[in-house]
Structure 1
Amino acid sequence: MDHQRVIRDVTVRLPMASSTPEACRWTVTALSRHTPATISVLLAVHDRLRCVAATGAWQVFATVPARTGIVGRVYATGVPAVVPDVSVDPDYLPVRPDVTAELCVPVLDPTGRAIGVLDLQWSEPTDLEPWRGTAQRLADGLGARIAALGGPPAESRSETLLRHAAALSSAPTEGEVMGAAARAAREVSTLSTALLLIGGQLGPSPATPSDLETRIRAELAGAGPVALDRMVDRAHRYGAGYTLGEAGHPPTEDYRPLTRAGVRTLVAVPVGPADAGGVLLVADERALRPDPTTVSLMELLAGQAWTSVDRLRTLARLREQASSDPLTGLRHTGPFGQRIAAATPGRTALLAIDVDGFKTVNDTYGHQAGDRVLVGLARALEAALRHGDELYRIGGDEFVAVIEVSRPEEAVRIAERLTEAARRIGRTISVGVAVPRPGEAPERTLRRADQALYAVKRQGRDGVHLSAA
């Protein structure tokens, strides 16, 4: 192989390339005439490597995270990779099943900064060492031409939207979804300010809000919830809308708070359903002219934001259902076990509660009547407890209250308040009280509270008994 000829044939037309993609395509196409390798050029675009040109591959990765694969390693370190056997390199990304060797070199700009990689993969025995120097010279020439043409291609708006959609999908809280949606709207629309309003609440303010956003937030706070509801209602009633940036046309009354803040350009997009959603406001104090494509992208973004919010709310409901009793709404065994595991010896009291005569209610009047008794009793006991006390349902008619007290007598008084609350709704309960001992397992404390409860049962029910310290 005459590697000098390879370099000459590949680089001869590079100065004539009028764009970065054209320079990359010419490099790959010309190089492929001299080797059967799978060849690709990947350039850094935001936080990923985008395949700008490729040939000879069954499948090409459109983008690769900046530190993924051999290509990501070479880009991150700036050090070429010569891999005679890809099966032993854990970073290898399979493109086709018969590849045996890979050579990857960084594409550098004239300052020595990595802007991408040139990657070659072979499926037949190849002497990689001569190709290493050739590939690096070709990559250097390509890097110089790319720099002269203005650098790697900019991220398209659709790529920007896709990147932000991934961030929305992974946001762990509703507030972070709203913040991510606002950042995405600003970047995709190129307008200076974006706010997401859901359920009457504005999303979090960015660390460095624009002056316009600060004024908008102040105006909306002063306008009150009725004005916010009008904006949301307008968006859901009529759909997405935008200004044309033309002077001499007054805004509708619904948007007066925004114009008082200095807004001259506005895209307003409904978010979610009318009864639970909100509106995405994307604004600028310059008089611009958004195009319909921008509005469509904002609608896609609003839809993704609502999907993410709805997912988080659904997960929260499922977690609540998994940790609470569906009949009474009280937390049940799992959370109770976690709570008593954190009990403070001498300070945390357990009140084991049993409904007197509950089996008779079920047998005489049916389970629906029994359910009504349990729900009514749960509400009565909750109301009798102090703020911070916790009530759990751990069985059919068995409840446990976990309370913080300074001495056992205080726990007994609270237990007596519970028995009085039950009597007021026509029921009676038996309550056993136990205070954890130093070094005592939580299960042992609960067992002592149960034993105290059964002592009440033996004495005629409708009472309180304190377990011996």
Structure 2
Amino acid sequence: MYDGRLSTLDQARYPAGATPSRNDVCVDHNRVIRDATVRLSMASTAVEACQWTVTTLARYAPATVSVLLHVHDRLRTVAATGSWQVFSTVPPKAGIVGRVYASGLPATVGRVAEDPDYLPVHPDVTAEICVPVCDPAGSPIGVLDLQWRTEVELDPWRRTAELLAARLGARIMALGGPPAESRSEKLLRHATAMTAAQTEWELLGTAIGAAREVSTLAAAIVVLGGRDGPRLDAPTGVPGELEGRLRAELAEAGPAALGRLVARAHRHGAAYTLGEAGHPPTEDYAPLDRAGVRTLIVVPVGQPDVGGVLLVADGRRLRPDPTTVNLMELLAGQAWSCLDRLRTLHQLSEQANSDPLTGLRHTGPFGQRIAAATPGRTALLAIDVDGFKSVNDTYGHQEGDRVLVGLARALQAALRHGDELFRIGGDEFVAVIEVHRPAEAVRIAERLTEAARRTGRTISVGVAVAEPHESPEATLRRADQALYFVKRNGRDAVRLAAD
């Protein structure tokens, strides 16, 4: 019978003043292994095998016990007990559990406070044993983790944990391997990725990939509203055969047909077809039928006036269950929330970086742009409105604002795609363009003067091409000097600055 006294061997194992619990000294580790092995043989699923292992260990070990398996790209807690808090998922290399999984080597940590990888779960945890759970070939598929809040003899428990982890791994593989990621977990993973998306392209690509993976159907397309009516989202990657045909048919059908699909979804809500033979589709879905779609889920996205629709389709005749449709609705709602956030952020950014009168970007973005000038290629066109002060003095600032807005629109329209126009002062503009030779920059400047004349005003333009080893400020000064030369010599002209 245990009387609380330590043997000579035990005294050497424990620090002065520390005593093991009665359970620690009296544990029959052979019995622990035997009981757990019997329970493992009764498990019918991998999750059950993990739960039986944890439950059996918890009966003998006064510790937090958990099993984490590698699911998709993270270590996921499949079974746990005895903890105030359990991490649901852990990155594959995070914490002691991640270190053990990545290395395939067990870890015995007598003082967790001294281990930089320890993930705090309970403030009283003092020691941790973590061993890899491997398949029969020896490759880790997860970890078995035990954490103590009392003094304990770690070596016997580590040996027990290693034996049980080996048997658990064998049983899990015999039952088909670690559990697959559920559809809800997939949706959550994709929702996190959509929240982190930086562009609409990235967001829509993530949403389309999520729709395919969660629904298990072959094709997914997003139709969104625009100024000219509904439009197909830009394809992400190389679409599959069905998705390619579907895009082609919808593009040929045109905005009116897309509009009917969107209106129908927003009027009646999500819908799906059972894909049964002998039941022809309605006229609105005829383009999808021609593309070879035999199973379809249609989910509204956003608001009727500015939103769109998510189409998830397959060429097989399937029977989508209501749960799949519900998950697509959740996906569409998350995608729209993220899209609305991106558009709001973009609008705020444009407002912060744009001149409120003309809508052109102003000095902040201009400084960033000319800082990236390429010697011999980037040209600065300094532009000044001739006689603008007299407009303000004679007709007032309201008329002056009208003149500036009209000129800004005319100049912007006269530039090529990719050229940029900035307003850097009251009636001062600068165009930043990329050219192959100075004469090309002069021709574009002359196009600007012609565009200004059509508005009933004239402008003076100084042109300078960035030189090697020249600062952007110096290039701008040369353009200004050329501009002032034009102003002093009759205005309404263009001059190329000297090198």
TM-score (norm 2): 0.83
Within the candidate set 153, 156, 163, 1:137 is matched to 163
Once residues 319 and 435 of structure 2 are traced to their aligned partners in structure 1, the CA distance between those partners, rounded to angstroms, is 66
Match of 1:375 in 2: 405
Q: Report the AA paired with residue 212 of structure 1.
A: L
Match of 1:292 in 2: 322
Once residues 314 and 41 of structure 2 are traced to their aligned partners in structure 1, the CA distance between those partners, rounded to angstroms, is 41
- Tell me if 1:307 matches 2:350: no
* Mapping of residues 37-436 of structure 1, within 5 Å: 37-198=63-224, 199-204=230-235, 207=238, 209=240, 211-345=241-375, 348-362=378-392, 365-385=395-415, 389-403=419-433, 415=445, 418-419=448-449, 421-436=451-466
- Whether contact under 8 Å (1:40, 1:119) holds in the other structure is yes
Structure 1's 235 and 387: CA in aligned 2 closer, same or farther, altered over 3 A?
closer
- Residues 406-451 of structure 1 deviation map (CA, whole Å, 9 limit, x = unaligned): 7767756655654554444343444444444443222122223334
Match of 2:47 in 1: 21
- Residues 83-138 of structure 1 deviation map (CA, whole Å, 9 limit, x = unaligned): 22223333221101122221111112223232211101122333322222111111
Match of 2:20 in 1: none
Once residues 122 and 404 of structure 1 are traced to their aligned partners in structure 2, the CA distance between those partners, rounded to angstroms, is 67
Residue 152 of structure 1, CA deviation: 2.3
Match of 2:477 in 1: 447
- Whether contact under 8 Å (1:197, 1:203) holds in the other structure is no
Structure 1's 340 and 287: CA in aligned 2 closer, same or farther, altered over 3 A?
closer
Q: Which runs of 5+ in 2 are unaligned?
A: 1-24, 225-229
Structure 1's 13 and 468: CA in aligned 2 closer, same or farther, altered over 3 A?
closer
- Whether contact under 8 Å (1:391, 1:399) holds in the other structure is yes
Once residues 111 and 234 of structure 1 are traced to their aligned partners in structure 2, the CA distance between those partners, rounded to angstroms, is 55
27-36 vs 413-422, which deviates more?
413-422
Structure 1's 244 and 402: CA in aligned 2 closer, same or farther, altered over 3 A?
closer
90-99 vs 312-321, which deviates more?
312-321
Q: Report the AA paired with residue 335 of structure 1.
A: P
- Whether contact under 8 Å (2:232, 2:251) holds in the other structure is no
For the residue of structure 1 that corresponds to 2:60, the secondary structure is: coil
Match of 2:60 in 1: 34
Structure 1's 349 and 228: CA in aligned 2 closer, same or farther, altered over 3 A?
closer
Once residues 151 and 101 of structure 1 are traced to their aligned partners in structure 2, the CA distance between those partners, rounded to angstroms, is 30
TM-score (norm 1): 0.88
390-399 vs 212-221, which deviates more?
212-221
Q: Which runs of 5+ in 1 are unaligned?
A: none
366-375 vs 418-427, which deviates more?
418-427
Q: Report the AA paired with residue 163 of structure 2.
A: R
CA RMSD after TM alignment? 2.9
- Whether contact under 8 Å (1:227, 1:254) holds in the other structure is yes
Match of 2:6 in 1: none
Structure 1's 5 and 337: CA in aligned 2 closer, same or farther, altered over 3 A?
same
- Residues 200-222 of structure 1 deviation map (CA, whole Å, 9 limit, x = unaligned): 1145265461x433443343344
- Whether contact under 8 Å (2:294, 2:313) holds in the other structure is yes
Once residues 325 and 257 of structure 1 are traced to their aligned partners in structure 2, the CA distance between those partners, rounded to angstroms, is 45
- Whether contact under 8 Å (2:220, 2:313) holds in the other structure is yes
